[in-house]
Structure 1
Amino acid sequence: MKVVYSFFIAMVWLATGLSAFAQKTVVSGTVRDAVSKEPLPYVSVFFKGTTIGTQTDLNGNYVLSSVSPQEGLSFNYVGYITLSKHINPGFEQKLDVTLVPDAKALGEVTVVGGKKARYRNKDNPAVELIRQVIAHREENRISNFNTAAFRQYDKMLFSMSNVSEKFKNKRIFRNYQFLFQEQDSTLIGGKNLLPIYIQEKLTDKYFASDPTRNKSVIIGEKQVNFDQQLVDNNGMKVYFERMYQDIDIYKNNISVISNEFLSPIANAAPSFYKFFITDTIKTGNGEVIELAFTPRNGTDMLFEGKLYVSNDKHYAVTGVSMGVNKNINLNFVRALKIDLDFEPTVSGKYSLAKSKLIADFGLGKTKGMGFTGERSSTYKNYQYDIKLPDTIFQGRSIVAVAGASARDEQYWEKNRLDPLSKEQAKIYHNIDTLQKIPSFQRTVKIATLLFAGYGNLGPYEIGPVNTFYSFNNVEGFRLRFGGRTTPELSKRFYFENYAAYGFKDEKWKFFLSATYSINNKSIYQFPQNYVRGSFQRDTKIPGQELQFVQEDNFLLSFKRGLNDMLLYNDFYRLDYVHEYENHFSYAFGFKKWSQTPAGGLNYLANGGGLINRLTTSELSVALRYAPNEKFIQGKIYRVPIADRYPVFNLRYTAGIKGLLGGEYNYHNLTGSVDKRFYLSQLGYSDVTVEGSYIAGKVPFPLLAIHRANQTYAYQLNSYNLMNFLEFVSDHYVSVNIDHNFNGFFFNKLPLIKKLKLREVVSFKALYGGLRDENNPVSGSGIYQLPAFDNGLQRTYSLGNQPYMEGSVGIGNIFKLLRVDLVRRFTYLDNPEVTKWGIRARVKFDF
């Protein structure tokens, strides 16, 4: 009897619970303008006959729920006809609507012809308002609080856009039509999408203002994982995150797609933007002023759109909806849209609640297949002025908890701050299916070979392909073949090798190296900790640094002037590298170097006599500090990303006489600082300052042979009109400035601006010299300086004036090419010198 009674009670409880749940009404959707199809922000949405309501966000989206059944919705917006819609009571449903402008609400309008009023900042209420926003900017930033903590959820999507029906119906996709998705026609891009990537990340963030400290703790991370033989997942992830950074409207400059844009509320904004008050909107949190803004020059690196400002003493930004002009000088970016939505805090200030960035990339302006990238972020659980222990900020600024990348779907269902749509949730499965298509695998392998230069064979990669064939005056035609192992062979041991043969000198060259990873990570992955041993027998031009695998790029075989000086080298090296999480690193090295001159280069003792071979043994220690450095991280490569943070390098090398045949004692101390300076609308400058001092009496091959360039390629770190081995020094300082204006001037020229060209200028100066003990001209040097066959001096020391050269150039030609006109300013009387030169460089930029 108890069992029957208990069962009856349970059924009554369950029926009551289900009945109550069934009565809950949840409606979500988007509200748009019926004419323009643009989303409408701040539309009031109410259940009919109740006070239960909400407002649409900046994207026109709304969600409204009630625990009791509801039968209708009402949509109200100033300037539009009120709309009522029937809904199904007690169900969860989606309802998208369009509002029709209320033409009857307009009074009589009289149009009078006349001269258009000139826009002025003076006595302009919109400008006065934006100046108040600027004045209160620091007050409304998160840095105004002593401490802050919040949770951030990021979702990143990439798709092929504007996919044509012809492409969609290709044979290889015949059985895979489920891969394609229909895109909202009002969004950026075309109708059909082919999603290729999705990434999610859940992060707890902490901030303290005294001193300023930031910490990000990744508690969950998930992304599409391609076959490692086909695509580098880590490299793709870092690259996308670099392009789609957090948008902070309160910064003077905002980084978007690797470019700096002036914020509409920057200090200098009134000088570059036009502002117009377009509406005043009543919200549940008070009045909001709608402020439209547009660039004074449509081709400058500026935004255009609408800004929503609280009409109170704080003048806080409550929302932003902006994009860029279609004529802006952005490579491959066809369209860009940014939406920011802020919510009020307990203190009355506003905190960022949602952000969305959508960019469409392609070769054509609007037509043709391209790529659409979207990053949306949701912020919740803000806590201000709470006590944060110092231990939170110890270690790296960005860390991941153990198991963050192994969260199951149940965890994500519970913790996502913004749920995935059904279409988005399918992407993980669809990409797994796509990778199994043989034609897709072949296409990716071919693309990797063409763009990365390596052909993947699983545990071994052959390449780089651009070094397989080259030529020079000493070796003649040169063939080379080699490669390197990948982490698929071992995560501890790595090997590199190549063999090369010159058909003129009939000599074999080769390279072998073995590396052991101490921390059981890829030797290309941060932080590095490895030991490497290598042997290399090859040629090099004096003064050109020989790397572990010298890439004899075929295009660099073409050189100007006389370039017959070459060295045959035997390098024995042992290196230890250790990087730390704070981006400080040190390296210890041993190198035995035996060099033999070849071609037009001879080593002659200052007292007479030919020297066939020079041997040195060196011990070195190198220190490097690169705060906040980020990389394009691949499984077998790592490329630093240029940023505003400086990079410091210091290296000490000691030559030891008698150690394994070393012939000289000397000490070499070299230091450098590299930094990128962003100058807002005027572009950015890359600056390098370097200095060196060599102590000891040594022959000229062991001095600093300044890096010259006799190719037709513009080299950023070389002197492009200096001849090989033209200058040597035992002490020097140098400065190298390369500035890119990002089209600041070209964008203001009719017709020219349509080409989207970019202006570049550079200046390089080198000041140094030789002490008497190392100067053969004074009779004290060990070796004679090289000379031409006619007896004219070929190599010099720097005198009282520095070596200087500069260039002006045009970048972004065909979106890839930079061409510079280079001018040499000093030492013009040296033989074989050219005063002017034209150099070209291929560079991919956004």
Structure 2
Amino acid sequence: MIRNYLFLFLFLICTQSFAQFVVKGKVTDSATGDPIPFASVLLKGSTVGISTDFEGNYILEARSLTDSITVSYLGYITAVKALQQVAEQTVNFQLKPSDFEMEAFVFEAGENPAFEVIRQAVDRKKDFDKREIPAYQTKNYTKIEIDIDHVSEEFTRRKAVQKVTAVLDSIKQLTNDEGEKILPVFFSETLSKYYFRSNPELRKEVVEKTKVTGVGITDGSTTSQITGSAFQEYNFYRNWLSIVGKEFVSPIADGWKQFYDYDLLDSVLVGKDSCYLLKVYPLREQDLAFTGTIWINKETYALKQVDLTIPKEANLNFIERIKIQQEMTPTSAGPLIPTKTRVQIKIGQITPKTAGLLAKFYMSADSIQIGEPQPKSFFNQQVTLSPGYDDATEEFWKDNRQDILTEEEIAVLQMVDTLKRIPIVRFFSEGLKFFGTGYLDVGKIDLGPWPGFFNVNNIEGVRLGMGFRTNIKFSPKWLFSGYMGYGFKDEELKYTASVTRILDRMHWTSISLSTQKEIDQVGLEISSLEGNSVFLAASRFGTLRRPYFSRLHKLNFQREFFKGFLMYSDMSFLKFDPLYDFYYLEKGTGEYKSSFETTEAKFGLRYGRDEVILINDNQRTSLGPLRWPIFDLSYAKGMRWLGGDISYSKLNLYIYQRLNVGMFGVSRYEFDAAKVFGEVPYPIMKNHLGNETLFYTSAAFNTMNFNEFASDQYASLRYRHYFEGFLLNKVPLVKKLKWRGVANANILFGSVNQKNIDNAPTVDPDGNPIETFGRLDPNIPYVELGYGIENIFKFLRIDFFHRITYLDNPGAKPFAVKISGQFIL
């Protein structure tokens, strides 16, 4: 018995002498409510401390407590809170952002010690870049929240806004650190499997489950394709990272010394790894570069984690801040894969009477598997939706989401669900969607497009029109569309009707039949300007140039065999009925003809190795290529024996590419070459698009007149370069305006076969002169060079063009000024 009491006494003494105090809590950003990882938590007046994890949580254990605890982190005001002398307590912190000041670090002798750390990290990039893994797959969880921020009193006094806030008063209000209300408008969660192979470099995301709720969101299938992790790629082992359509240089880019300076702050323990802690900041505050901290493993020189910000001084519009936090984990193959990434994009108020926007993205990856690559055919579509992707219950999400929702996020969900049902909100959100897409969603059909509702020109006078198309709620396999317009001057009815059958959505396969009676213009055909709706709509006002009635019937088939490789073919029957003085000499008879018909079969191949394609409702939408060019090769045959008046062949090659040229900006080029074989009237040839309007368009030669040149064989190169502030950022007074330089170079070689010159008479049968077409000298190219400034008042762009050749042509203008408006970041 005595021995038992003795053991109990010794146990109590030992436990008392080694008793620990536990302080735990969470550190968040007071302005956004988001966690702050990697913050330093320290018992004041001691050396006992710890860092917060990626979710901002900390658990600090100590044998004794001081009177207070302090939390500090770069870019935030240090906070201190009092402690109680109790065994366990919870102390949460909300840190307020501070103005980040970039300091100049002076080293008395020798090289900056941080440079050697960065040099070693850059030299070993290939060892840790995940693109070096032949193939891997992960299970990903993605969460996106979008809020209306800076909801000021002036904004809430608006009548429409008051109707909204009155309804929301019963819900827990979310505010930032200044007490201003935040209105959440979108929230999504996605569970997916992500696949990657390096040779060739291909990616695919299979969305297994997704939950999307948002104001104005009507088509969950389209939205679900872009809310996963496929569009949240942030790899700091690339030299350049694409964010919001801009290219930002990585702190460990190959040319790091041209963009960054560094300071070696400390040597710290992150998990089990000893790491260098470095502060990075751009040499020029307006460059598209990061500022913040990075952790580099002392043994391997691999990135461990990053906390970086793109400050509001950078040459960006409307954006006050972009913040990226990332934690990386080594794989069994060696390279690193980001396992947790958090991104915040804060967009400021355009005017004091408007509101700002705050977008938050969170991605986590687990179940990393390194293995054999999936076959290339597996990657045909970059994003696919699993059956039943949107039918998960709340119980499913509770069991399967990798991170539980916070109280604030639960309040966000409740507010978004309420907000999207408010009539005035639905009215404005549908109105914006109508303006942006051209169509108004009315149940199973969409009405539009609105640019075709009203036009005025010299042929039709006042023209009114209305159209529709069915959407995916009508059918995921059938698409019907139609349009009718009437001109009160020519008293003619115009129409378009089509039916499309989608045979396969995975290997996109469709067949369609269409018929049309419409007014077109030579060189301004609707079919060639469908992607330039503003220029097309403007061209249908005022005086129509070389107008003609087009009666067109077409049968089209297309199929994507593997990712990026699309085959298309069509059979078309066209009647060209001119509304201006037009004649051509018919081959063989030499008779004057004022109209003609063609029967044309066309076959084409299109290949975009990394072109991003979304299935938008019942249509394919291209988001463009990332790095590789898009090739389009087609062959068309006009056949007299199937009812056409003319026999001919056309061969056409088109190439488009976007080029990132590093610190010099971004370039885009389009190469277009074609040849027409056979004797044809000039409307069948290529009538090069000129631009006599005040407005700039990349689709035209901006110093060329309308219908100035036509060719039956040609090659053109159109090159556009965006300096992204590279030049003007260095001009002391101009750089504050955030203007950006642009440059253009357009070159065209072309010619016309003598037979096609001869069949275009210069006089009509009565001997009256008629207008035909201009020709290029095969040895002299058409050249125009341009330069300009964009981002004037964050909207306006002015281009100055010089015409270099063919200055003696009638009406030729050696110099032109073009303006355009654009909302760019």
| Fold equivalence (TM over 0.5) | yes
Moved more, 788-797 or 360-369: 788-797
Contact 2:196–2:204 (8 Å) recurs in 1: yes
Contact 1:699–1:783 (8 Å) recurs in 2: no
Per-residue CA deviations over 1:592-628 (Å, capped at 9, x if unaligned) read: 1111222354446699764232111111112212223
Per-residue CA deviations over 1:538-562 (Å, capped at 9, x if unaligned) read: 2211122323997685533567xx9
Shift of 1:171: 3.5
In 2, the alpha carbon distance for the partners of 1:121 and 1:455 equals: 68
Per-residue CA deviations over 1:48-94 (Å, capped at 9, x if unaligned) read: x9x9x9631367x125499xx9999996889999988459879xx85
1:296 matched to 2:276? The reply is: no
Which residues of structure 2 form unaligned runs of 5+? 1-20, 97-103
Contact 2:659–2:667 (8 Å) recurs in 1: yes
Which residue pairs with 2:12 in the alignment?
A: none
CA 1:363/1:538 → structure 2, altered by over 3 Å: closer, same or farther?
same
Per the alignment, in what secondary structure is the counterpart of residue 844 of structure 1? Answer: coil
Moved more, 826-835 or 732-741: 826-835
In 2, the alpha carbon distance for the partners of 1:342 and 1:172 equals: 42
Per the alignment, in what secondary structure is the counterpart of residue 257 of structure 2? Answer: helix
Contact 2:668–2:720 (8 Å) recurs in 1: yes
Contact 1:163–1:193 (8 Å) recurs in 2: yes
In 2, the alpha carbon distance for the partners of 1:205 and 1:792 equals: 60
Contact 1:244–1:257 (8 Å) recurs in 2: no
Q: Name which of 812, 830, 837 aligns with 2:791.
A: 812
Moved more, 393-402 or 708-717: 393-402
In 1, the alpha carbon distance for the partners of 2:79 and 2:705 equals: 76
1:508 matched to 2:493? The reply is: yes
In 2, the alpha carbon distance for the partners of 1:414 and 1:362 equals: 37
Shift of 1:284: 4.7
Which residue pairs with 2:450 in the alignment?
A: 465
Q: Name which of 716, 724, 728 aligns with 2:706.
A: 724
Per-residue CA deviations over 1:676-728 (Å, capped at 9, x if unaligned) read: 00112222111111221222222222222223333332221222222233222
CA 1:121/1:448 → structure 2, altered by over 3 Å: closer, same or farther?
farther
Q: Name which of 812, 817, 820 aligns with 1:841.
A: 820
Per the alignment, in what secondary structure is the counterpart of residue 526 of structure 2? Answer: coil
Contact 2:376–2:562 (8 Å) recurs in 1: no
Letter in 1 for 2:121: V
Q: What TM-score comes out, normalization by structure 2 length?
A: 0.84
Per the alignment, in what secondary structure is the counterpart of residue 315 of structure 1? Answer: coil
1:825 matched to 2:821? The reply is: no
Letter in 2 for 1:708: G
Per the alignment, in what secondary structure is the counterpart of residue 151 of structure 2? Answer: coil
Count of residues in Structure 1 that have an aligned counterpart in Structure 2:
781
Which residue pairs with 2:521 in the alignment?
A: 541
Per the alignment, in what secondary structure is the counterpart of residue 725 of structure 2? Answer: coil
Which residue pairs with 1:8 in the alignment?
A: none
Letter in 2 for 1:689: F
Per the alignment, in what secondary structure is the counterpart of residue 549 of structure 2? Answer: strand
Contact 1:515–1:530 (8 Å) recurs in 2: yes
Shift of 1:737: 0.8
In 2, the alpha carbon distance for the partners of 1:262 and 1:530 equals: 41
Letter in 1 for 2:91: L
Shift of 1:572: 1.5
Which residues of structure 1 form unaligned runs of 5+? 1-23, 101-115
Q: Name which of 170, 192, 195 aligns with 2:181.
A: 192
CA 1:629/1:724 → structure 2, altered by over 3 Å: closer, same or farther?
same
Per-residue CA deviations over 1:428-471 (Å, capped at 9, x if unaligned) read: 44433322221122222222333333333323333222232333
Which residue pairs with 1:355 in the alignment?
A: 341
Alignment of 1:573-592 (within 5 A): 573-580=554-561, 582-592=563-573
Shift of 1:415: 2.4
Alignment of 1:82-97 (within 5 A): 85-86=83-84, 94-97=90-93
Which residue pairs with 1:388 in the alignment?
A: 372
Q: Name which of 268, 272, 278 aligns with 2:265.
A: 278
CA 1:458/1:282 → structure 2, altered by over 3 Å: closer, same or farther?
closer
Per the alignment, in what secondary structure is the counterpart of residue 164 of structure 2? Answer: helix
In 1, the alpha carbon distance for the partners of 2:751 and 2:425 equals: 58
Which residue pairs with 1:531 in the alignment?
A: 511
In 2, the alpha carbon distance for the partners of 1:342 and 1:76 equals: 27
Letter in 2 for 1:373: A
1:141 matched to 2:141? The reply is: no
Shift of 1:370: 1.1
In 2, the alpha carbon distance for the partners of 1:841 and 1:168 equals: 33
Which residue pairs with 1:704 in the alignment?
A: 686
Contact 1:179–1:194 (8 Å) recurs in 2: no
Per the alignment, in what secondary structure is the counterpart of residue 174 of structure 1? Answer: helix
Alignment of 1:134-173 (within 5 A): 134-145=122-133, 148-164=136-152, 170-173=162-165
Q: Name which of 745, 750, 754 aligns with 2:727.
A: 745
Which residue pairs with 1:55 in the alignment?
A: 51
Per-residue CA deviations over 1:26-52 (Å, capped at 9, x if unaligned) read: 94412899xxx9957263689xx9x9x
Shift of 1:367: 9.1
In 1, the alpha carbon distance for the partners of 2:129 and 2:547 equals: 59
Letter in 2 for 1:326: K
Alignment of 1:471-510 (within 5 A): 471-510=456-495
In 2, the alpha carbon distance for the partners of 1:121 and 1:212 equals: 46
In 2, the alpha carbon distance for the partners of 1:70 and 1:786 equals: 105
Letter in 2 for 1:730: D
Letter in 1 for 2:27: T
Letter in 2 for 1:268: G
Letter in 1 for 2:567: Y
In 2, the alpha carbon distance for the partners of 1:210 and 1:242 equals: 21
Moved more, 831-840 or 637-646: 637-646
Q: Name which of 612, 616, 634 aligns with 1:651.
A: 634
Moved more, 139-148 or 319-328: 139-148
CA 1:73/1:733 → structure 2, altered by over 3 Å: closer, same or farther?
farther
CA 1:761/1:349 → structure 2, altered by over 3 Å: closer, same or farther?
closer
Contact 1:253–1:261 (8 Å) recurs in 2: yes
Which residue pairs with 2:782 in the alignment?
A: 803
In 1, the alpha carbon distance for the partners of 2:671 and 2:205 equals: 33
Alignment of 1:71-90 (within 5 A): 85-86=83-84
Shift of 1:214: 4.7
Moved more, 123-132 or 201-210: 201-210
Shift of 1:729: 1.9
Per the alignment, in what secondary structure is the counterpart of residue 126 of structure 1? Answer: helix
In 1, the alpha carbon distance for the partners of 2:202 and 2:500 equals: 37
Contact 1:467–1:553 (8 Å) recurs in 2: no
In 1, the alpha carbon distance for the partners of 2:448 and 2:680 equals: 38
In 2, the alpha carbon distance for the partners of 1:318 and 1:418 equals: 21
Letter in 1 for 2:212: Q
Shift of 1:674: 0.9
Which residue pairs with 2:192 in the alignment?
A: 203
Letter in 1 for 2:446: E
Alignment of 1:100-111 (within 5 A): none
Moved more, 615-624 or 592-601: 592-601
Shift of 1:251: 0.9
Per-residue CA deviations over 1:207-243 (Å, capped at 9, x if unaligned) read: 5556756554443322226676xx4445555566699
In 2, the alpha carbon distance for the partners of 1:489 and 1:144 equals: 45
Moved more, 403-412 or 815-824: 403-412
Per-residue CA deviations over 1:745-801 (Å, capped at 9, x if unaligned) read: 22222332232222111111111212333332xxxx365599998778742244311
Contact 1:473–1:564 (8 Å) recurs in 2: no
CA 1:619/1:594 → structure 2, altered by over 3 Å: closer, same or farther?
same
Q: Name which of 308, 312, 336 aligns with 1:322.
A: 308
Alignment of 1:659-678 (within 5 A): 659=642, 661-678=643-660
Contact 1:261–1:681 (8 Å) recurs in 2: no
Letter in 2 for 1:447: L
Contact 1:58–1:319 (8 Å) recurs in 2: no
Percent of aligned positions that are identical: 26
Q: CA RMSD in A?
A: 4.2
Letter in 2 for 1:55: S
CA 1:243/1:257 → structure 2, altered by over 3 Å: closer, same or farther?
farther
Which residue pairs with 1:597 in the alignment?
A: 578
1:266 matched to 2:245? The reply is: no
In 1, the alpha carbon distance for the partners of 2:618 and 2:303 equals: 44
In 2, the alpha carbon distance for the partners of 1:724 and 1:78 equals: 65
CA 1:242/1:633 → structure 2, altered by over 3 Å: closer, same or farther?
farther
